[in-house]
Amino acid sequence: MFKKLILLSLLLFTLVGFSGNLKAQTLIFCESVDANGNPEGKSSVFNISSSGGYLDMLVNLREDLNCYTVKYDVYKVVNGSDVYQYTITQDTQLDWRWFWYKITFYDEGKYNIYLYDCNDYLLTSGSVRIQYK
């Protein structure tokens, strides 16, 4: 019994230590992206005019993308459920580990965005709230 407890403790310690070293793939919402791929004005809430406004979505990956396109599925959260709005397709390069896309919003609300690679594998997702000024 004691040996099993020690083995389980070692396994958990190893898993926790290993997972701490992994860099998460992220979708960051920001006002702009600099030449080095750093977000400027990072936030999860943005104010736009009633005629619309834009922001940047910055993607950071753990390894090369290995695709020539990605797609962003945009959903608006209505009464707690995702309601599909549209899909954005972006041309990419095989060796990209970070990239960004300028997205325009016209309506306020909470949006969930899911990013898929060229094989329809979910790479990452994020949520943003859009408010009128």
pLDDT tens, position by position, 4-51? 444 444 444 433 344 443 458 999 999 999 999 999 999 999 999 999
Domain of 85: which CATH number?
2.60.40.2550
Residue at 5 is within a domain? no
Domain count, the chain: 1
Residue-number span of the structural domain to which 80 is assigned: 24-132
Q: Using 50, 70 and 90 to split pLDDT, how confident is the model at 1? A: low
Residue 11 included in any domain: no
Residue 4's pLDDT is: 47
- Asked whether the predicted pLDDT for residue 3 surpasses 90, the reply is no
Is the model's pTM score more than 0.85? no
Residue 20, judged by CB atoms within 10 A of its CB (0-12, 13-18, 19+), counts as exposed
Answer whether 41's CB lies under 8 Å from 31's CB: yes
